[in-house]
Structure 1
Amino acid sequence: MTHSATMEKVENGSSERLTLDAIVIGAGVAGLYQLYRLREQGLKVKVFETASNVGGTWYWNRYPGARFDSEAYIYQYFFSEDLYKGWSWSERFPAQPEIERWLNYVADRCDLRKDVYFNTTIKSAHFNEGTERWILETDAGLTIDAQFVITCCGMLSAPLTSTFAGQDTFKGQLFHTARWPKEPVDFSGKRVGIIGNGATGIQVIQTIADKVGHLKVFMRTPQYIIAMRNPKYGNEEVAAYKDRFHELAKTLPHTFSGFEYSFENGAWADLLPEQRREILETIWNDGSLKLWLASFSELFYDQSVCDEISEFVREKMRERITDPKLRDLLIPSDYGFGTHRVPLETNYLEAYLQPNVEIVSVKNNPIECVTPEGIKTADGTVHALDIIILATGFDAGSGALTRIDIRGRGARSLKEDWSRDIRTNMGLQIYGYPNLFTTGAPLAPSAALCNMTTCLQQQVDWISNCIKYLHDNNLKVIETTKEAEDQWVKHHDDIANKTLMTKTNSWYMGSNVEGKPRRLLSYIGGVGAYRQKCDEVAAEAYRGFIMS
């Protein structure tokens, strides 16, 4: 194969055509590493990024309080010991500005920026069956001809920004958390309303509660929470985690969630009640996601175990809230702990004890519209506001791809295909879309249930090795078979449907987007098990994929 990257004028010279071996969409955690790996093979590859800089999620989500809920020393690239040890974190769960600086450090240290087109959005990607290559168009009028397309758009990168009628009429300031301005927002003395109290909303609420004049939280579903333990790091702590580089690089890819911890407490039924309680107390005091992702695996599929652990968390929340009315509003009772995304928090519950913070329950009194003055609920009340914050979430997993006009064989539309049924083979390819690889897509752990750097690196490595296999064997096209995709979907669903997650409405199930097909977006069979299955497919000359 001839590796080529050429730019030529087309037609009347008003537009340009770029010819590449591969194009990567997105310059976040996955996109940067994908560029590194393909460039390492000698391929001519470019990254296209809507933002003005690298970072992906950590570029866009600069809202007040945004920070890791993965420990910083595991939310890392492990392909280079020097790269890992060349950066020192200031605390266990750093905030967004530090994370963005780290990703800029990675881009500069690996000299990646020169191959990234910033401020450029891919509008369409059509497979040309005659040439067996992809033709893509950008919002700037650039045409790209590429053999391979790798989407690294992010699983939470399609924000639900136009959620309520009348948003454009609001006279004050309106922000979505995923499109937060770089300039500071002045909250002092302002009447602020925030819609949404998931992981993002919680971070915003606890951060701005003491900075606003008055805060109204429009709350539909209360959340279980875990109190974050976030110690600062000095030289001793930094040296300690850096000494663990080889240990973490070896173990993280094989745990259930891609975190450093796994289920090591034995079977719930084999323990006495006091033993269970001791384990739960110890894990709770760790102040991490360990209670969710590494306490007892039965939490995910045994209703009685889920009920007991849920009550344990409710008890911890009641200790911090004595007001009966607040307890009713803030403590979940109609779904189980761990069946939704579990947020870490710092003094979130205490924010509601402040006299300037108010909960507006919209469960039975939904938001009707936004008016020029504020937010109107179904009972006719208009809540006068100066600032509205939309913490309304994302079209997760699939939205970033369906917002691009992607067309495969026979001009089939991915948006139309996924409007009927969201399907992939291992979250890596989609039947009918040759030479299109996906990361962070549905039906892989990276869609939600994973320490993202662990899973995204694994997918990038698999894709890179697959492309190298094609080149080494003088092959040009790879596409999953329908049978292999069907088998993976069935395997995914068989596991998912045994869990309690599928019985709860959440963005994990696509329930937050009207009309979205209902399916658990993330593979829940475990990160290590998923990796093993991907490795087995590759070892068998990419079983389930047709190559030519």
Structure 2
Amino acid sequence: MAGGEAPELRDVLIVGAGFGGIHALARLRDGLGLDALLLDAGAGPGGTWYWNRYPGARCDVESLQYSFSFSDALQQEFDWTERFAAQPEILRYAEFVVDRLDLARSMRFDTRVASAVWDEDAACWTLTASDGRAWRARWVIMATGPLFATHLPDFPGLKDFAGEVYHTGAWPHEPVSFAGKRVAVLGTGSSGVQVSAALAGEAEQLYVLQRTPAHIVPAGNRPLGAAERAEVRARHGELRAQWNAQPGAVMYASLPPAEPVLPANPVSALAVTPEERKAVFERAWAYGGYALHRAFTDLLTDERSSMLATEFLRGKVAEIVKDPATAEALAPRTLYGTKRLILATGFYEMFNQPNVALVDLYRHPLKRFTKAGFETENGHYAVDAVVFATGFDALTGSLTRIDIRGRGGRSLKDEWARGPHTYLGMMTAGFPNLFMVGGPQSCSALANVITANEQQVEWFAECIAEMERRGVTTMEPGEAAQAEWGRLIDELAGPSMVAKGDNWYLGANIPGKARAILLFVGGFPAYKAHCDAEAARGYRSFALA
């Protein structure tokens, strides 16, 4: 411990200054009057939007919905400028909220939590930072985020590469110039698609390294008008109720007077003629955003309908990309919905530029990196910089990379070695008083993350308040309730496209990670109903001491 000092004692410790942690601090400190302290590895708030500063970084939830609802003042005072906000604007929003609510005085930045250890005798947690500073508290909220722990595969020869190396999830805070450089972007998930489109106009030569083509649709981004922003402010409560009734806690539809709302279609893709189906798909494509998810009711649950959506997207790629071989390589082959749908601006179009080339790693796998570039089975490519858009150890990685020790010294990493087990995606047996925001087996990454975070934080706050009223010292879920929740997670995922692909929803992107469904796929309203029902039963699925 630094300087041999005794750990600071608090009521609540919060780890992570993303939107979940920000709300938790406001709710517990100002709402419940608890002595709460937030710890974060970064030099400021923002969570994923603090770290992911790569060119082109942008949210795929419409900005007018990607905001806190617990404070009307916050809703009324911040002006969003685009339909889908870029990283700098979202970071400004996080900073605005922290400043407006005077939260910074209860935050400690540049503080990377290395361990969290449960003390049986004192019935409290000790959190220790990498520099030796320590804090103790009865309650701990891990708001470490579902997409924080970056993943960089161990590519042969990478240490020999003499050029610049970047990862989209840990981007430098100082400006990076790619002008006049030969650049490789490895990965065509959401980050890879966004950063590639941004660099296509700057790099002298851009190589996009793709293994599996993604399902990509136009974002349909545009500036927001004053009338549109004013209407959302005036109808915020009513609209929020409508949004939260949707599976993803979003409508994915802009509001009048900007353009008509595109409603969800309750019809199966198999129940219409090919001409009618194409017309519906075309409307969704032109509308942009996640409208395609709403084009037919069974695109994410029926493999035949899913494949019809894939075929439509293959046709769109062929229309846009002029070179037939490149178009064929870029066209998706897998079932629609088995991977995250990606919103893009100009991604397919950039392959018509002379300075952009696709490197198809499916046909010609990557062999190694060299001092001057990289080599595939099709030859050597000389590059000055490599951008890795290789994603995250999603949902569990941000927790298992901290040495969390519960009852009897049991390790959370070891407990989850064969897949995570939780109750409600919020607590794990054997780890008392430890709450998780956006953790595995919740609906966090399949819903509007801010809304999902708010719902969980409100549940934690009511729970802690109730435990304080009862004089309860410790709480943790029972093994039976945890096992039943796991069965429900698997049952819900069974018919879903999410469980039918190799994706990060299953941990398939991390070598050696146990394959397990990591999310509640039943939708935000159903998830909230389960949580509310547990509270209404008096938390009887928990062991209370």
User: Normalized against structure 2, the TM-score is what?
Assistant: 0.95
Contact 2:321–2:351 under 8 Å retained in 1: no
CA shift in 2, pair 1:198/1:141, >3 Å: same
Q: What CA distance in whole angstroms lies between the structure 2 residues aligned with 1:320 and 1:242?
A: 38
CA shift at 1:235, angstroms? Answer: 2.0
Residue aligning to 2:360: 361
CA deviation profile, 1:415-468 (whole Å, cap 9, x unmatched)? 11111222111110011111110011111110x211111111111111111111
Contact 2:313–2:332 under 8 Å retained in 1: no
User: Is 1:24 aligned with 2:14?
Assistant: yes
Residue aligning to 2:59: 68
Q: What CA distance in whole angstroms lies between the structure 1 residues aligned with 2:425 and 2:133?
A: 29
Residue aligning to 1:185: 176
CA shift at 1:169, angstroms? Answer: 2.9
Contact 2:12–2:141 under 8 Å retained in 1: yes
Residue aligning to 1:304: 304
User: Is 1:473 aligned with 2:470?
Assistant: yes
Higher mean C-alpha displacement, 258-267 vs 533-542: 258-267
Q: What CA distance in whole angstroms lies between the structure 1 residues aligned with 2:199 and 2:476?
A: 49
User: Is 1:449 aligned with 2:446?
Assistant: yes
**SS of residue in 1 equivalent to 2:446:** coil
Q: What CA distance in whole angstroms lies between the structure 2 residues aligned with 1:331 and 1:269?
A: 20
CA shift at 1:409, angstroms? Answer: 1.1
Q: What CA distance in whole angstroms lies between the structure 1 residues aligned with 2:168 and 2:145?
A: 16
Matches within 5 A, 1:154-193: 154-161=145-152, 163-193=154-184
Q: What CA distance in whole angstroms lies between the structure 2 residues aligned with 1:246 and 1:227?
A: 29
Q: What CA distance in whole angstroms lies between the structure 2 residues aligned with 1:269 and 1:364?
A: 32
| From 517, 533, 536, the counterpart of 1:536 | 533
CA shift at 1:270, angstroms? Answer: 8.4
Contact 1:481–1:546 under 8 Å retained in 2: yes
Q: Counterpart of 1:500 in structure 2: which amino acid?
A: M
CA shift at 1:275, angstroms? Answer: 4.4
Residue aligning to 1:290: 291
**SS of residue in 1 equivalent to 2:390:** coil
CA shift in 2, pair 1:36/1:460, >3 Å: same
CA shift at 1:15, angstroms? Answer: 3.3
Contact 1:248–1:260 under 8 Å retained in 2: no
Residue aligning to 1:495: 492
CA shift at 1:59, angstroms? Answer: 0.6
User: Is 1:523 aligned with 2:520?
Assistant: yes
Q: Counterpart of 1:282 in structure 2: which amino acid?
A: R
Q: What CA distance in whole angstroms lies between the structure 2 residues aligned with 1:368 and 1:240?
A: 55
**SS of residue in 2 equivalent to 1:350:** helix
| From 393, 396, 405, the counterpart of 1:395 | 393
CA shift at 1:538, angstroms? Answer: 0.6
Matches within 5 A, 1:270-349: 271-273=271-273, 274-292=275-293, 294-333=294-333, 335-349=334-348
CA deviation profile, 1:297-320 (whole Å, cap 9, x unmatched)? 311221111111222222222221
Q: What CA distance in whole angstroms lies between the structure 1 residues aligned with 2:93 and 2:469?
A: 35
Q: What CA distance in whole angstroms lies between the structure 1 residues aligned with 2:436 and 2:394?
A: 14
Backbone CA RMSD of aligned residues: 1.7
Contact 2:318–2:328 under 8 Å retained in 1: no
Q: What CA distance in whole angstroms lies between the structure 1 residues aligned with 2:62 and 2:240?
A: 14
User: Is 1:505 aligned with 2:502?
Assistant: yes
| From 87, 90, 94, the counterpart of 1:96 | 87
Q: What CA distance in whole angstroms lies between the structure 2 residues aligned with 1:538 and 1:453?
A: 21
CA deviation profile, 1:172-223 (whole Å, cap 9, x unmatched)? 1100011111211111110101110111000011111121111111110111
Q: Counterpart of 1:111 in structure 2: which amino acid?
A: D
After TM superposition, the runs of 4+ consecutive aligned structure 1 residues lying more than 4 A away are none
CA shift at 1:139, angstroms? Answer: 1.2
Residue aligning to 1:422: 420
Q: What CA distance in whole angstroms lies between the structure 2 residues aligned with 1:435 and 1:246?
A: 32
Q: Counterpart of 1:48 in structure 2: which amino acid?
A: L
**SS of residue in 1 equivalent to 2:227:** helix
CA shift at 1:358, angstroms? Answer: 1.2
**SS of residue in 2 equivalent to 1:298:** coil
Gaps of 5+ in 2: 254-262
CA shift at 1:364, angstroms? Answer: 4.2
Residue aligning to 2:260: none
**SS of residue in 2 equivalent to 1:223:** coil
User: Is 1:48 aligned with 2:39?
Assistant: yes
Contact 1:268–1:276 under 8 Å retained in 2: no
Contact 1:68–1:93 under 8 Å retained in 2: yes
Gaps of 5+ in 1: 1-9
Q: What CA distance in whole angstroms lies between the structure 2 residues aligned with 1:321 and 1:180?
A: 30
Contact 1:206–1:347 under 8 Å retained in 2: yes
Higher mean C-alpha displacement, 175-184 vs 417-426: 417-426
**SS of residue in 1 equivalent to 2:118:** strand
Q: What CA distance in whole angstroms lies between the structure 1 residues aligned with 2:109 and 2:22?
A: 13
Q: Counterpart of 1:437 in structure 2: which amino acid?
A: F
Contact 1:254–1:529 under 8 Å retained in 2: no
Residue aligning to 1:7: none
CA shift at 1:271, angstroms? Answer: 4.3
CA shift at 1:502, angstroms? Answer: 1.4
User: Is 1:245 aligned with 2:236?
Assistant: yes
Q: What CA distance in whole angstroms lies between the structure 1 residues aligned with 2:277 and 2:390?
A: 36
Residue aligning to 2:258: none
CA shift at 1:13, angstroms? Answer: 4.8
Q: Counterpart of 2:22 in structure 1: which amino acid?
A: L
User: Normalized against structure 1, the TM-score is what?
Assistant: 0.94
Contact 2:300–2:336 under 8 Å retained in 1: no
Q: What CA distance in whole angstroms lies between the structure 2 residues aligned with 1:317 and 1:372?
A: 35
Contact 1:224–1:337 under 8 Å retained in 2: yes
User: Is 1:142 aligned with 2:133?
Assistant: yes
Contact 1:16–1:141 under 8 Å retained in 2: no
Residue aligning to 1:35: 25
Residue aligning to 2:259: none
Q: What CA distance in whole angstroms lies between the structure 2 residues aligned with 1:513 and 1:84?
A: 38
CA shift in 2, pair 1:270/1:394, >3 Å: closer
Matches within 5 A, 1:68-147: 68-147=59-138
Q: What CA distance in whole angstroms lies between the structure 2 residues aligned with 1:87 and 1:122?
A: 32
Contact 2:164–2:385 under 8 Å retained in 1: yes
**SS of residue in 1 equivalent to 2:289:** coil
Q: What CA distance in whole angstroms lies between the structure 2 residues aligned with 1:276 and 1:367?
A: 39
**SS of residue in 1 equivalent to 2:417:** helix
